[in-house]
Amino acid sequence: MNVRRQLGLPLLLLAALAATYLWVSSRQLDSMEARVLNADFIRDAALSHLLLTAVATTLVVLVSIPLGVLLTRPFARPLTPVVMAIANVGQAAPALGVMVLLSILYGIGTTIAIVTLVFSAALPVLRNTIVGIQQVDPALLEAGRGMGMSRGQILRRLELPMAVPIVMAGLRTTIVICVGLATVATFINAGGLGDIIVAGIKLQRTPILVTGGVLTAVIALGLDWLAGLAEKYVRPHGI
Amino acid sequence: MSDIKLIQVTKQYDGQSQPAVDSVSLDIPAGELVVFVGPSGCGKTTTMKMINRLIEPTSGQILLGGEDVLAREPNELRRHIGYVIQQIGLFPHLTIAENITLVPGLLGWSAERSRKRSDELLDLVGLDPSSYRDRYPRQLSGGQQQRVGVARALAADPPVMLMDEPFGATDPITRERLQNEFLRLQAELRKTIVFVTHDFDEAVKLGDRIAVLRERSRIAQYDTPEAILANPVDDYVAGFVGSAAALKRLALIPVAKLTTEPGSADGLPAVPPDATARDALDLMIRHGTSRVRIGDGTVDFAAISALLGGGHER
């Protein structure tokens, strides 16, 4: 593994953070800017953003992978188009609209924000789980069956390990989507970096806007980088 | 040792007017290699896969060592039948050793016993265990992968092996080498083997017996390679035998079996001791002689021709 290439992105992200910090701190902040651009406010927004992303991604994994596995079993195949249609709607529907509708029905707050994220970001993991399992060479499954592996053993020891690289690629997409979408959680009082961005827009203060934007981008790219590292470690050798 | 008996085995798929396999009865003696040969789609693979129940027969009986396979739990049955497929089917995410010890693992062998067995088998198929056991399949050549495929099928020392065109996807040179190694292996192991191919020459080379199948897996002729080459029962079988049946028969006879005449062998071309009667003939043609040297004696053209029993060639 090329260490220098691995470290290129995080160094770039750190540089972007440092440049933003230096630029913001070189300015004389007015009282409105100072209310947003302070360590406590930024930390809370960033942490709640990470929390929204982490919880939503975890839920996507817990729902989409088992569902994807289920939909590749022979008895459930007729259901596959139905579930995929729903997941496609989730990805295609504007997340903000979905969130607002859910808020009208069930009230505002973090839970609704997370439900929206899961609904909107479930497709990549679901689709890639299905594709990852379906792309396994049928000759390998035949060999496994001919050697006396049970269905469960074939799933656990052949299909799932060989699907890992594709599932992980879907997971990275889901994470990036979640980070981006979590910015709209602010509209239903669920926190996140949207608090900073929306403040920047409303107050027409460029430093606030830039800070929120840069932080969101850095988190998205940083998590994608981490997931890429994780992918290298969980991907079975030999594939 | 297990013999295999097929008794009026039929496979009828839903919605098809004719059965894919039509009432096949066949006795495969223990320790013999029987080749199913026939054109694509004749049902030879289907017939083979009914033995380990990858395909369930519609009717009929299959006895393995006298025991009805339909009475056994399918996965348990398959763990005791070696299985080699044309695509080899090594699992890419498992090392060579992990591939080989998969069935022993399913059977609950200890890690130590499995490890020893895997090294033993790699030795047996001519791959150095210390340099191959921890590699992944994609790091091996096609021929090496096929050897591992055979080793994997042998892992739990099954009395019976099913092989579906195992050498079909290799180049001719590798193929011939694999066939020779496999013959040597089988001479040692004496497994009961069902071997499927569409290559009649491969069937002649490897088989103790050949079952020539026509459509719906009906048996056109079931006999030793020598007998089929000498006396194909009908035009269908003769078509499979193809041209040069006499040469193919000669290729089955080692020169060691020829009775040589003593006499001066000076200047005559010499046949290597492990060659066949066909090689001796080839040497005669190349050198324009009617006599070649074998060991201390000589053999002439008439002696080789007499091997075929003369007379009733088609």
pLDDT digits (tens, 9 = 90+) for A136-186: 999 999 999 999 999 999 999 999 999 999 999 999 999 999 999 999 999
Q: Which residues of B touch A153 (CB under 8 A)?
A: 106
> Would the pLDDT of A217 be above 70?
yes
Distance CA A168, CA B264 (A): 77
Q: How far is B223 from chain A (nearest CA, A)?
A: 28
**Proportion of chain A above pLDDT 70, given as a percent:** 98
pLDDT tens, B21-71? 999 999 999 999 999 999 988 999 999 999 999 999 999 999 999 999 999
pLDDT tens, B73-126? 999 999 999 999 988 899 999 999 999 999 999 999 999 999 999 999 999 999
Q: How far is B53 from chain A (nearest CA, A)?
A: 9
| Band of residue B312 on the pLDDT scale cut at 50, 70, 90 | very low
pLDDT tens, B112-151? 999 999 999 999 999 999 999 999 999 999 999 999 999 9
The answer to whether A143 contacts B85, with C-beta atoms less than 8 Å apart, is yes
The answer to whether A143 contacts B94, with C-beta atoms less than 8 Å apart, is no
pLDDT at B247: 87
The answer to whether B92 contacts A237, with C-beta atoms less than 8 Å apart, is no
Chain A interface, best mutation among B46, B93, B134, by max A CB count within 10 A: B93
Q: How far is B157 from chain A (nearest CA, A)?
A: 13
The answer to whether B75 contacts A143, with C-beta atoms less than 8 Å apart, is no
> Would the pLDDT of A219 be above 70?
yes
Identify which of B78, B102, B138 has the shortest CB distance to residue A238.
Answer: B138
Residue B66 sits at φ, ψ, to 5 deg, of: 85, -5
> Would the pLDDT of B314 be above 50?
no
CA pseudo-torsion sign A84, A89, A95, A98: negative
Encoded amino acid at A209, one letter: L
Q: Which residues of B touch A144 (CB under 8 A)?
A: 89, 91
Q: How far is A146 from chain B (nearest CA, A)?
A: 6
Cα pseudo-dihedral B297, B302, B306, B308, rounded to 10: 100
Contact (CB, 8 A) for B284 and B292: yes
pLDDT at A198: 94
pLDDT tens, A72-89? 998 988 898 898 888 888
* Region A196-215 average pLDDT: 94
Q: What is the reported pTM?
A: 0.84
Q: Does B95 touch chain A (CB under 8 A)?
A: yes
Identify which of A137, A149, A158 has the shortest CB distance to residue B106.
Answer: A149
Q: Hey, what are A143's tokens?
A: 């060999």
Chain B interface, best mutation among A133, A135, A136, A147, by max B CB count within 10 A: A147
pLDDT at B34: 97
| Band of residue B275 on the pLDDT scale cut at 50, 70, 90 | confident
Q: Does B79 touch chain A (CB under 8 A)?
A: yes
Identify which of A140, A162, A237 has the shortest CB distance to residue B136.
Answer: A237
pLDDT tens, B215-249? 999 999 999 999 999 899 999 999 888 878 888 88
pLDDT at A10: 92
CA nearest A198: which of A29, A60, A41?
A41
Q: How far is A175 from chain B (nearest CA, A)?
A: 26
The complex scores an ipTM of 0.82
CA pseudo-torsion sign B271, B272, B274, B279: negative
pLDDT at A3: 62
Radius of gyration of chain B (CA): 22
The answer to whether B87 contacts A161, with C-beta atoms less than 8 Å apart, is no
The answer to whether A146 contacts B83, with C-beta atoms less than 8 Å apart, is yes
What DSSP line would sit under A205-217, residue for residue? -HHHHHHHHHHHH
pLDDT tens, A26-62? 988 888 888 888 889 999 999 999 999 999 999 999 9
pLDDT at B309: 73
Distances (CA, A) of A23 to A16, A18, A41, A170, B207: 11, 8, 18, 36, 82
